[in-house]
A and B are shown apart, each in its own frame.
Chain A
Amino acid sequence: GAVVSQHPSRVICKSGTSVKIECRSLDFQATTMFWYRQFPKQSLMLMATSNEGSKATYEQGVEKDKFLINHASLTLSTLTVTSAHPEDSSFYICSASGGAGNSNQPQHFGDGTRLSIL
């Protein structure tokens, strides 16, 4: 089945550090990937849609200069949290589908990245 790999699984770093999270589709090509954020006991909240070869589309309230997204190939999207602060601590999850990102296709999720900013 379709596999999405996310790395790293856990990051602990000091305030002000920039952190890069990678999301790879291992056995399929993904023109579209999605980045979500999840707080404890809450739902996944969509942050942005990552489009291969073009700019990401950010949801309202998500700072594009804070959360940099790059989708340079059909199998890799990266999320960089720039100058991270404690309020950025969260669980970040990416997903992709084998299709064009339509809701008639199941989403395949990575295992998430637990980011903790001290």
Chain B
Amino acid sequence: SQKIEQNSEALNIQEGKTATLTCNYTNYSPAYLQWYRQDPGRGPVFLLLIRENEKEKRKERLKVTFDTTLKQSLFHITASQPADSATYLCGTGRRALTFGSGTRLQVQP
């Protein structure tokens, strides 16, 4: 089965900088990867979906890349703000989603 790996260590950055989070998958190349934001005590909120044949996807300050050679997706938040502080989950699956453990992002003012 697919295994999703995210850096479990928290990422601390200064406001205004670009945050980059990593998602690696171990088995088959998924047709899609999805990124979610989760705040404490809340359910995940969908952010972006990127398809296997897409190299890059953007939405406002967010950018996702998909590298099938490296078996990796990168999630970028440009001009980060304290309000971006949350846990970010990467997930994939043919039907239900398999998620990584998430990376907690802390943006310092």
Binding site for B on A (CB under 8 A): 4, 6, 32, 34, 41-44, 46, 49, 91, 93, 95, 101-104, 106-112, 114
Answer whether A107 and B99 are a contact pair too, CB < 8 Å, given A6-B43, A112-B42: no
Answer whether A43 and B99 are a contact pair too, CB < 8 Å, given A103-B31, A103-B92, A103-B93: yes
A-B contact pairs, 25 of them (CB 8 A): A4-B43, A34-B96, A41-B101, A43-B100, A44-B89, A44-B97, A93-B43, A95-B44, A95-B97, A101-B95, A102-B95, A103-B30, A103-B34, A103-B93, A103-B94, A103-B95, A104-B31, A104-B32, A104-B51, A107-B34, A107-B97, A108-B46, A109-B43, A111-B42, A114-B41
Excluding A103-B32, A109-B36, 20 further A-B contacts by CB distance (< 8 Å) are: A32-B95, A41-B8, A43-B100, A44-B97, A46-B98, A95-B43, A101-B96, A102-B94, A103-B30, A103-B34, A103-B97, A104-B32, A104-B49, A106-B49, A107-B34, A107-B36, A107-B46, A107-B91, A111-B43, A112-B42
Which residues of chain B have C-beta atoms less than 8 A from A95's C-beta? 43-44, 97
| B49/A46 in contact, CB under 8 A | no
Binding site for A on B (CB under 8 A): 4, 8, 30-32, 34, 36, 41-46, 49, 51, 89, 91-102
- Tell me the complex Cα distance, A34–B97, Å: 9
**B5 to chain A: closest CB distance in Å?**
10
- Tell me the complex Cα distance, A41–B100, Å: 11
Which residues of chain A have C-beta atoms less than 8 A from B45's C-beta? 109
Of A32, A107, A112, most B-chain CB atoms within 10 Å = A107
**B62 to chain A: closest CB distance in Å?**
14
Which residues of chain A have C-beta atoms less than 8 A from B43's C-beta? 4, 6, 93, 95, 109-112
